[in-house]
Amino acid sequence: MPVVTERGRAVVLLSGGMDSATCLALAARREGHACHALSFDYGQRHRAELDAAVRIAGLLGAREHRCLRIDLGALGGSALTDPGIAVPREPGPGIPVTYVPARNTVFLSFALAWAEVLDADFIYTGVNAVDFSGYPDCRPEYIAAFQAMANLATRRAIEGRPVELRAPLIALGKAAIITLGRDLGVDFSATVSCYQADASGAACGACDACRLRRAGFEAAGIADATRYQPGHRPG
């Protein structure tokens, strides 16, 4: 897919999952931004997600990709960063234990810092509120409030040109994201959504994230490109 004429710099949060990959594809291929991808090594349980982020940044032509080590795991409080809390095999009610306290706020804050240094016009995040697993910091009102805060936080803001936070997937369900990603040429087999992926990035097929992802492929009528762990391919 040809790259369109470049329109400004963007910092794109890239987790290695399908949502952020689709978001990067949209920023780079549809909007034509020069994309600076940002990932975090924050004590999550597996490295496969970060390995996936490296692959995706390369496949989608990010201008640059940085991975910051942050000590979010040292603060505890989530099944994704605390070995003492088990990842559930079945989805439950309310905010799940995989919620990492203030994760998106921390990630967006670093994106804001880097956008200021790069003089970037945009920050992209792949959060979505439809299949959001109950996380408070994936809601449209949260994104709007972060934008309002960012409008006061930086040198660019004081100069009257605050960075614009975009969450283009926020109103899309998984099926719509998968369809959009396919149309933008995302290789979903390179992405990792599973909370318990193995070292190669193969998925467990059973956790919340795997269930949402599989249901998304089914609803979109697109073949599931996910690599599953031996003996764990779902239904």
Which one of the spans 17-25, 44-52, 70-78, 200-208 is the region binding its own copies (CB under 8 A)? 70-78
Closest among 173, 206, 201, 204 to 187, alpha carbons compared: 201
Residues with Cβ within 8 Å of 184's Cβ and at least 6 positions away in sequence, in order, are 1, 22, 25, 26, 29, 30
171: contact with its own copies by CB under 8 A: no
How many residues belong to the site for its own copies (CB under 8 A)? 44
Q: Toward its own copies, which CB reaches closer, 110 or 234?
A: 110
115, amino acid identity: A
Q: Toward its own copies, which CB reaches closer, 75 or 215?
A: 75
In Å, what is the CA distance from 129 to each residue of 65, 170, 187? 26, 5, 23
Q: Residue 75 burial (CB < 10 Å; 0-12/13-18/19+)?
A: middle
**In the complex, least distance from residue 211 CB atom to its own copies, rounded to whole angstroms:** 22
113: contact with its own copies by CB under 8 A: yes
Which one of the spans 150-158, 172-180, 188-196, 208-216 is the region binding its own copies (CB under 8 A)? 150-158
Q: Toward its own copies, which CB reaches closer, 86 or 199?
A: 86
104 contacts 138 by C-beta, under 8 angstroms:
yes
What angle (nearest 5°) sits at the alpha carbon of residue 118, between those of residues 116 and 120? 75
9 contacts 122 by C-beta, under 8 angstroms:
yes
114: contact with its own copies by CB under 8 A: yes
229: contact with its own copies by CB under 8 A: no
3: contact with its own copies by CB under 8 A: no
Residues with Cβ within 8 Å of 146's Cβ and at least 6 positions away in sequence, in order, are 105, 108, 165
35: contact with its own copies by CB under 8 A: no
145: contact with its own copies by CB under 8 A: yes
66 DSSP 8-state letter: E
Token pair recorded at residue 203: 């998925």
187: contact with its own copies by CB under 8 A: no
Closest among 205, 233, 211 to 96, alpha carbons compared: 211
77: contact with its own copies by CB under 8 A: yes
30: contact with its own copies by CB under 8 A: no
Q: Toward its own copies, which CB reaches closer, 118 or 222?
A: 118
Q: Toward its own copies, which CB reaches closer, 4 or 95?
A: 95
151: contact with its own copies by CB under 8 A: yes
Query: Which residues in this chain contact its own copies in the complex, by CB under 8 A?
Result: 66, 68-72, 74-77, 95, 99-106, 108-110, 112-114, 116-117, 136-137, 139, 141-142, 145-146, 148-155, 157-158
